[in-house]
Amino acid sequence: DQQVKQNSPSLSVQEGRISILNCDYTNSMFDYFLWYKKYPAEGPTFLISISSIKDKNEDGRFTVFLNKSAKHLSLHIVPSQPGDSAVYFCAASAIGTYKYIFGTGTRLKVLA
């Protein structure tokens, strides 16, 4: 039973446009959500996080939105750049735990 789901395995976007990556979760006890970016043959790299008490967090070109009622979060990248091409993982952690539950990832390809 997957608690964190990324239903789009891949996404292609033109350079300069907005990339929107989506993630759904089922566990209402999650209190922190993170996005990681992963390049081939490298480990995941932390990108941005959001606490469950917030609905938006912004860091430069990256914004994460959290909709708790829908149990949905999304990552917006504006403007998208070719260097953003990577696999993006959504991850969540429950109250009182320090492990993260990851989704299966979405491969983003930004076309020049």
Partner 1 sequence: EAGVTQFPSHSVIEKGQTVTLRCDPISGHDNLYWYRRVMGKEIKFLLHFVKESKQDESGMPNNRFLAERTGGTYSTLKVQPAELEDSGVYFCASSQDLNKAFYGYTFGSGTRLTVV
Q: Binding to partner 1 by residue 2, rule CB under 8 A? A: yes
101 in contact with partner 1 (CB under 8 A): yes
Q: Which residues between 65 and 94 bind partner 1 (CB under 8 A)?
A: 89, 91, 93
Rounded-to-integer distance, Cα 73 and Cα 78, Å? 16
If binding is defined by CB under 8 A, does position 36 make contact with partner 1? yes
User: Would you call 86 exposed, middle or buried from its count of C-beta atoms within 10 A (0-12, 13-18, 19+)?
Assistant: buried
1 binds partner 1 (CB under 8 A): no
Question: Among residues 8, 15, 27, 31, which is the contact residue for partner 1, using CB under 8 A?
Answer: 31
User: What is each CA distance from 66 to 39, 72, 100, in whole angstroms?
Assistant: 25, 6, 17
> Of 38 and 72, which CB lies nearer to partner 1 in the complex structure?
38
